[in-house]
Structure 1
Amino acid sequence: MSTATTSTRSAPPRRRRKDDTKLALLFIAPASVGLLVFLVWPLLTGLYFSFTEYTTLTPPRWVGLENYQRLLSDPVFWNSLKVTVWYVILNIGIQTIVALIIAVLMQRLTQSTILRSLVLTPYLVSNVVAAIVFLWILDTQLGIVNIFLQSLGLDPIAFWASETWVIPTIALVNVWRHMGYTALLLFAGLQSIPAGLYEAARTDGAGEVTMFRRITLPLLRPILALVLIMTIIGSFQVFDTVSVTTKGGPADASKVLQMYIYENAFARYEFGYASALSVALLLILMVITFAQYRLSRAGESDLD
């Protein structure tokens, strides 16, 4: 009896678990403030302005759905949407294929960290600098590309002044800049595929093409879907390359949605209508992202 009492008395008191809630809130406070100030508040403000007539010179005047009715009957908006979609198709299609090839080559042929770093080099160049450099390189009169074409006896190509060539040119410039970053994202996804699957496939006599089609693509699908969602959202927001090179020309052939929004807001000071255009772009991206996420089953993995 006394032994039991002594052991009970000598047992150390249980320590209360420390509550780290306040410390956690302190750490996330700066990011939360930035999120509210630079994302949530501008979103809500832009949504409100989209229902107003606002030119910064006078207070916003509530007009209801007038801006959206104007948007639906605006031929420039529909042309900008068509131009943007064409740019996205070219940019994402070429960029994804090239990036996937680079990622597979990095996985299958080399383990060099230096080579992987070099692949990322174009992404370190800002969009504005890349646009200016390619503006010189592809200049109709003095650009090195057209000088080379003329040396072959071919006619120079007006890359920036032709309605046919301007969007493919802008798309290829951005493919050059972003393909390394996209390739590294896909390469990270390839690293998660067990190497034993490839060894078993080789034992069964499968070739590289068969392994890519039967193993790589199916198992890479979740990462590929998420990368496509990210790149499509980014492509719909293209602006700086167009602003530096063509400013929407020739004849609105490169006037993407972001360029049209900018013109309405900062050239015509129609901030209400520009906000309505921005909300329309947001809704388009939400629909595309939701549809792509569901159709590609981005949240599921075949490795489970």
Structure 2
Amino acid sequence: MPAARPVSTRRNTTFFSRNKLVIMPLVFIAPALAMFSLFVIWPILQSISLSFTEWQGIGPKKWVGLSNYRYLFSDPVFWTSLVNNIYWLVLFLLAPVFGLLVALFLNQTVFGIRLVKSLFFFPFVVSQIVVGLVFAWFYDPAFGLLATILEPFGIEFPPILADEDWATFGIIVAGLWPQTAYCMILYLTGLNSVNPEMIEAARLDGAKGWRLLVKIVLPQLRAATFIALVVTVIGALRSFDLVAVMTEGGPYNSSNVLAYYMYDNAIFRYRMGYASAIATVLFMIMNVYIIWFLLRLWKNEKGAR
């Protein structure tokens, strides 16, 4: 008898079936990407285009090319604001260090430690506006807490926020308070994942104190340290709230930062084009760090595979 002819099975070869591993992720990402483009990408592009114009917020825009940028780099207040941002960036890096020390102190099982933890958590949940008002009263040379404490000793507390040389550093100290609390939370979370067996083995080998911290604990806190540095640097570059509440950039623009100088030009001086130029420069400075962060994150993800 003749052999039976094989039945051919017709496979579904539609475009969707061939590319569903590419199409489906795009379908799920599309809504978030649309919102991100509408509320982030589009305003950024508008701000950059506005920096090449002269505009008061109403009426027609006048194209001026690079005039805003030429004036920007000859503006002494801009350079003061940029230097102050560098001060913020350098001194804010103390927050991860202080946060680690506080986390190590709180990572103990002793009576009442939960109450102490709640006191250290307090700055993290308080608004930056409240922090600014509290420290403005704290620095008050007439009725502030420091002046009241030093008065019996005959020591006159200087008006920090009214001093051109010290106003910026007084605000930075106020900003370090909640930032340290945030870094502390990151390190407390990281300490919960530290391998206790490695610590016990290191102690049996004679490691203790500083050596135990550097050789055993800190390498296991690398992820928490990385996130703490990223958040701290971005927070330093976009500092605005405390400056607005405590000094409004004064005295004589000595405590100005780029974010507040941009706000001042846009809202109070009606120089939208010039404010957009300041925002563009700040955006480019932040992009340097953001690109480094994304490259580092991509390398870590690639190495983990």
TM-score by length of 2: 0.82
Check conservation: 2:147, 2:157, Cα contact below 8 A: yes
What secondary structure, in the 3-state scheme, does the structure 2 residue paired with 1:160 have? helix
C-alpha separation in 2, matches of 1:172 and 1:287: 26
When residues 295 and 27 of structure 1 are mapped into structure 2, their CA distance, relative to the original with a 3 A threshold, is: closer
Query: Do 1:219 and 1:301's aligned partners in 2 also have CA atoms closer than 8 Å?
Result: no
How many Å separate the matches in 2 of 1:85 and 1:126?
24
Q: In terms of mean alpha carbon deviation, does 101-110 or 47-56 score higher? A: 101-110
CA shift, 1:213, in A, is 1.2
Shift of 1:164: 2.7
Residues 239-260 of structure 1: per-residue CA shift (max 9 Å, x gap): 1111111111112221111111
The equivalent residue for 1:245 is: 246
Matches within 5 A, 1:16-95: 29=31, 31-93=32-94, 95=95
**Secondary structure at 2:259 match in 1:** helix
Q: Normalising to structure 1: TM-score of the pair?
A: 0.82
CA distance in 1 between counterparts of 2:86 and 2:299 reads 22
Contact 1:52 1:62 in 2 (8 A): yes
Matched, 1:182 2:202: no
Counting only pairs closer than 5 Å after superposition, residues 59-138 of structure 1 correspond to structure 2 as 59-93=60-94, 95-109=95-109, 115-138=116-139
CA contact (8 A) 1:52 1:64 kept: yes
Aligned pairs for 1:178-257 within 5 A? 178-257=179-258
Contact 1:222–1:300 (CA<8 Å) still a contact in 2?
no
Does the 8 Å contact 1:83/1:254 carry over to 2?
Answer: yes
Q: Distance in 1 between matches of 2:138 and 2:252?
A: 23
Contact 1:50–1:273 (CA under 8 A) maintained in structure 2: yes
How far is the alpha carbon of 1:208 from its aligned partner? 2.0
- Equivalent-residue separation in structure 2 for 1:103 and 1:32 (angstroms): 37
In 2 relative to 1, CA 175–215 (structure 1 residues): closer, same or farther, beyond 3 Å? same
2:238 and 2:44 map into 1 onto residues whose CA distance is 16
In 2, Cα distance between the equivalents of 1:193 and 1:34? 38
Residue-by-residue CA offset, 1:128-181 (whole Å, 9 max, x unaligned): 112112212221111121121121221122121112321221111111122212
Task: Give the corresponding residue for 1:12.
Answer: none
- Report if aligned partners of 1:186, 1:224 keep a CA contact under 8 Å in 2: yes
- Counterpart of 1:107 in structure 2: which amino acid? N
Distance 1:99 1:301 in 2: 29
Cα offset, 1:75, TM superposition:
1.8
Alpha-carbon separation, structure 2, partners of 1:209 and 1:303: 29
Superposition deviation, residue 230 in structure 1:
1.5
Structure 1 residues 249-276: Cα deviation after superposition (integer angstroms, max 9, x where no partner): 1122211111111111111111111111
Gaps of 5+ in 2: 1-19
Q: Distance in 2 between matches of 1:26 and 1:293?
A: 22
- Residues 256, 140 of structure 1: alpha-carbon distance in 2 compared, 3 angstrom cutoff: same
Contact map agreement 1:123 1:180 (CA 8 A) in 2: yes
Q: Please tell me whether the aligned partners of residues 141 and 147 of structure 2 are also in contact (alpha carbons under 8 angstroms).
A: yes
Mean CA deviation greater in 104-113 or 53-62 = 104-113
Deviation at 1:66, TM superposition (A): 2.2
C-alpha separation between the residues in 2 aligned to 1:105 and 1:146? 30
* In 2: Cα distance, 1:266 partner to 1:206 partner: 58
Q: Residues 150 and 235 of structure 1: is their aligned pair in 2 closer, same or farther, counting only changes over 3 Å?
A: same
Unpaired stretches in structure 1, ≥5 consecutive residues: 1-18
**Quick check: 1:149–1:156 contact (8 Å CA) kept in 2?**
yes
SS state at 1:255 partner: coil
- Following superposition, the deviation at residue 186 of structure 1 comes to 1.9
Q: Do the aligned partners of 1:225 and 1:293 also contact (CA within 8 Å) in 2? A: no
C-alpha displacement of 1:32 = 4.5
Q: Against the structure 1 CA distance between its residues 89 and 301, is the aligned structure 2 distance closer, same or farther, given a 3 Å change threshold?
A: farther
CA contact (8 A) 2:56 2:270 kept: yes
Q: Is the 8 A contact 2:179 2:232 kept in 1?
A: no
Partners of 1:282 and 1:219 in 2: CA distance: 33
The CA deviation at 1:302 is 11
**1:260-299 maps to which residues of 2 (within 5 A)?**
260-291=261-292, 299=300
- For 1:53 and 1:27, locate their aligned partners in 2 and report how far apart those are by CA, in whole Å: 37
Task: Give the Cα–Cα distance (whole angstroms) in 1 for the partners of residues 103 and 294 of structure 2.
Answer: 22
Q: 1:84 offset after TM fit, Å?
A: 1.5
